[in-house]
Chain A
Amino acid sequence: MKTPRVTANRIDEYLSSGKRFDGRKLNEFREISIETGISKKAEGSARVRIGKTEVLVGIKMDVAAPYPDSPNKGNLMVTSELLPLSSSRFESGPPKFPAIELGRLIDRAIRESKFVDFEKLCIKEGEKVWSIFVDIYSINADGNLVDAAGIGALAALKTAKFPKYDEETGKVIYDEHTDVSVPLSKEIPIVTTIYKIGKSLIVDPTQEEEDACEARVVIGGTAEGTIFSMQKGDAKEISIEEMNKVLELSKESKKNVFSKIEKFLK
């Protein structure tokens, strides 16, 4: 059941006095933990926990034809599945709006940042390129899936190794992995979301807080402040002054997140 309105009012009231239900500050994240290499079959994988929220991210690679408008560039495909086991709100079946949105948010941040060097994924121009599939699965949904998925995608891409490719037969040998990592740039796109509840702006909400939120801005960018992608969600408006605060808070939280995940990205 979604957080009732009475509870949401209480959350808002408490936030106005600068406090959150779980005792965190408004700009404070829950504990982030990352495990990489959790899947033997995937080319790269990661499990990310933010508080009780947990996501799995896997990378699979295949050789395919490039898109006609980018004959010398590899392909990227980010999909997400919100599994019914992770929350009573998710049903099995074709992906619905939240799952599609999650995939696209992460996709856009990675693509626009040029984090993956797509030109190096080209095998033969116009004919064969590597395709990277990033699959996101929610294991437990307790708010802020987007940020968790973003961190997971980075960690999984970082650890991903190319499978062997047989040039003659044109087949990918998945049983054997090479030592070659996915070509990545230094521009690391960190996805953080700023949520607005009443007049307060917070990061990393729990499910309870996420239900109470009236607007959110998802921003993909580096810890230095470069912004690659941005999307506003939910019904309420955000004023210009608030937007400046959002950008400030977003930069601050990106630095914060980066310092926590830095060691997994080296």
Chain B
Amino acid sequence: MNKMTEGMERKIVIPGELIVAGEEYLPGEGTEKNGSEIVALRYGLAEESNHLVKVIALSGVYQPRIGNVVIGKVENITFYGWVISIDAADDAFLPLQEVPKYVSKEGLSEVLDIGDMVVAKIIGVNTRGIDLTIKSRGLERIDDGLVIKINPNKVPRVIGKEGSMINLIKDNSGCNITVGQNGLIWILGKNIEDELLVKKVINFITEKSFISGLTEEVEEWFKNEKGGNK
């Protein structure tokens, strides 16, 4: 077993694959300790720092976390709120009191009807389920625009370092873009062509997510795309 160098080498592992052996290592996210061996539980990139071994997943469904902004679809209306599908293993729940205005028990479907899309924030993940809120800036019902779905593990690439990628796309397309951590993306532009341009560039990013210097590549992409249109 070749020892991994501190925070440098990343290797691709598959579930069940031995990442590193030795009592000094601790299992982190996406890994499991089996005797003295650290074994991968997810398909992804394995990395180690300060003896903590973890796997950055490259595929699989979205794992809900507190504080994540997600985009969901209203699946059902109950007496106390809305059941919302966020494309995770379980459905989420948006309670009545987490809506920023007073809602009567009869008026639930006027706020959010079945099939509506909504930008919401996760405020709780526990054994009872996932709880959402829309009591914050930028959290609202989606009335217009385009909602597309990408692999949730590629969301960090679409956003980029400190939002560099998403700002680049916003500047070049003039669209408003909200990226849900669950892989759903809401694009709202002045016309459909602009929105489709964003859809196209996001697909380009997800396909090329493994290369470094992606921001420059996308800049180049926009130049070509604009040059070709004129």
Which of the residues A1, A4, A6, A10 comes within 8 Å of B192, measured between beta carbons?
Answer: A10
State whether the Cβ of A13 lies closer than 8 Å to any Cβ in chain B.
yes
Given A6-B144, A7-B146, A14-B192, does the pair A1, B87 have CB atoms closer than 8 Å? yes
Give every chain A residue within 8 A of B192 (Cβ-Cβ): 10, 13-14
Total count of chain A residues near the partner, CB < 8 A: 9
Question: What is the total number of residues of chain B having a CB less than 8 Å from a CB of chain A?
Answer: 19
Shortest distance between the CB of B62 and any CB in chain A (Å) = 11
- Please give me the residue from chain A that is nearest to B199 by CB atom: A21
Nearest residue, chain B, Cβ from A10: B146
CB pair B147–A7 under 8 Å, yes or no, is: yes
Shortest Cβ distance from residue A162 to the other chain B in the assembled complex, whole angstroms: 43
Q: Using an 8 Å CB-CB cutoff, how does the interface string of B6-26 with A read, 1 for contact, 0 for none?
A: 000000000000000000000
Residues of B near A4 (CB, < 8 A) are: 73, 115, 117, 142, 147
Cβ contacts B117-148/A at 8 Å (1 or 0 each): 10000000000000000000000001111111
A21 to B148, CA, bound (A): 12
Bound-state Cα–Cα, A7 to B147, Å: 6
Whether, in the assembled complex, A266 has its beta carbon less than 8 Å from a beta carbon of chain B, the answer is no
Chain B residues numbered 175-224 whose CB sits less than 8 Å from any CB in chain A: 184, 192, 195-196, 199
Bound: A6/B185 CA distance, A = 12
**Bitwise interface map of A from 1 to 39 toward B, beta carbon under 8 Å scored 1, else 0:** 100111100100110000001000000000000000000
Interface Cβ pair total, 8 Å cutoff: 31
Chain B hits for A13, CB < 8 A? 192
Contact present for A1 and B73 (CB under 8 Å): yes
Cβ–Cβ contact A10 & B73, under 8 A: no
Q: Decide if B149 is an interface residue (CB 8 Å cutoff).
A: yes
Q: How far is the CA of A4 from the CA of B115 in the complex (A)?
A: 7
* Nearest-Cβ distance from residue B103 to partner chain A, whole angstroms: 21
The interface of chain A, by Cβ under 8 A from chain B, is 1, 4-7, 10, 13-14, 21
B residues near A, CB below 8 A?
73, 85, 87, 115-117, 142-149, 184, 192, 195-196, 199
What are 29 sample pairs from A and B whose C-beta atoms fall under 8 A apart? A1-B73, A1-B85, A1-B87, A1-B149, A1-B184, A4-B73, A4-B115, A4-B117, A4-B142, A4-B147, A5-B115, A5-B116, A5-B117, A6-B117, A6-B142, A6-B143, A6-B145, A6-B146, A6-B147, A7-B146, A7-B147, A7-B148, A10-B145, A10-B146, A10-B192, A13-B192, A14-B192, A21-B196, A21-B199
